[in-house]
Amino acid sequence: MNSGRLLAAFLFTATVALVVIGTLWPAPSAAAYAGAQSMLASSSTAEGAVRNLADEIRAQQWDKAYSHLANKAQFTEPEFAHDLTGYYPSLLTYSTLDKFEVHPLHASDTEADMQLTMHWATVVGSSVSTRQLHVVKNGNTWEAEWPVVKEPTVPPQVIPVNYLRWDVIYRGPGDDWGAQDVEAPHVRIVDMRPVERADGVVILGELLNEDVVPAYVSVGATLISKNQTTIATEGSFDKIAHLLLPKQVTPFFIKFPNVALSDVGSIRMSPQSSLIAASADPVIEIGDQQLHPAPDASLTGQLINQSGQIVNVAHVLGTFYDKSGKIVWVADQYVDHALSPQNPVPFQIHIPEDLAKNIATQRTVVSTYSSGGSL
């Protein structure tokens, strides 16, 4: 009883002491977040100027960051902020700069080039963007020139859209037992392959909506050991395009961490589908898709929104095959910028280096989310 009181008193005293210490001598990062001075007090070096700028971006102090730019005459503060947070609501709009890295590329006494790599924390994970900044010396301080990318805005207009939309009426609570309900969409796994990786087993595959109605789909998998016991059950989570229009195919990726393929006797797949109200709009062109070999193996391309609706979040899924058409890998990327009509937005999906040499072809699909609730 006495020892418990002693521990409580100690914890209370220690907490008060830490609060006092933190208030009197705050950590630079905490002070920066609290709106005090930047972590680096001066911009006496080119790298320091870029770090100051990145700190201000992290604190979302757009006015301060803008005031420290060397080329602010070329754009307005809102344009600067929109360049970082998106002109239309997108993943970046609801993200914060988690961390950044500054790499000097070139430097002289009066000017320098720096690469600023920004790691944004978004609702779907980290998103990395890189900018190359030209930094110039102005008197005793250095100032960065922000390479603003002015996203083309869509002029006010009315774009007629007459794509199909499906709505669903389910059976009501007053219907008799035995009364018919609308049939769930028929979906089929058209390809499936388990792959062993260093951190576990992954199940790769493709799912087809073979019906004439839209389907909301997901795939689950259960690994069964050789003695018929269940090892683990996992789902595809977001590694799948959940909305499938008729005859559309999505890849899926299910990860089982810390499982060895040699322990698996069989796999039970559970494709699930349900009817969903959906629209055939928007149509997205996936243009200029190119496979890049290792090092830095990736699939690049650009998304072009061919519809009139702003797409706030686009999720690109790539399926990679070997020469024989066997599925080798599935990877994805969320595009952090909104897709406005007819404006190409690039994407890059990274491919594991060890698998890149086996990849001969690919197939890319994109699923989109627009604010307002429609899928």
Binding site for other proteins (CB under 8 A): 162-164, 166, 176-178, 180-183, 190, 208-214, 245-249, 280, 283-291, 301, 306, 362-365
Closest CA to 69 of 2, 133, 143, 148: 143
Q: Which is nearer to other proteins, 64 or 363 (CB)?
A: 363
Question: At closest approach, how far in Å is the CB of 318 from other proteins?
Answer: 11
Asked if residue 279 lies in contact with residue 374, where contact means CB atoms within 8 angstroms, the answer is yes
Question: At closest approach, how far in Å is the CB of 180 from other proteins?
Answer: 5
Asked if residue 207 lies in contact with residue 252, where contact means CB atoms within 8 angstroms, the answer is yes
Q: Which is nearer to other proteins, 181 or 353 (CB)?
A: 181
The number of CA neighbours under 13 Å toward the Cβ of 98 is 13
Phi, psi of 48 (to 5 degrees): -65, -40
Question: At closest approach, how far in Å is the CB of 306 from other proteins?
Answer: 7
Closest CA to 46 of 115, 112, 106: 112
Q: Which is nearer to other proteins, 166 or 369 (CB)?
A: 166
Question: At closest approach, how far in Å is the CB of 151 from other proteins?
Answer: 21
Q: Which is nearer to other proteins, 48 or 301 (CB)?
A: 301
Q: Which is nearer to other proteins, 231 or 360 (CB)?
A: 360
The answer for residues whose C-beta is within 8 angstroms of residue 169's C-beta and 6 or more apart is 182
Question: At closest approach, how far in Å is the CB of 157 from other proteins?
Answer: 19
How far is 266 from 201, CA to CA, in rounded Å? 13
- Indicate the Cα dihedral angle 60, 66, 69, 73, nearest 10°: 150
Q: Which is nearer to other proteins, 56 or 206 (CB)?
A: 206
Whole-angstrom distance between the N-terminal and C-terminal Cα of the chain? 59
Question: At closest approach, how far in Å is the CB of 289 from other proteins?
Answer: 4
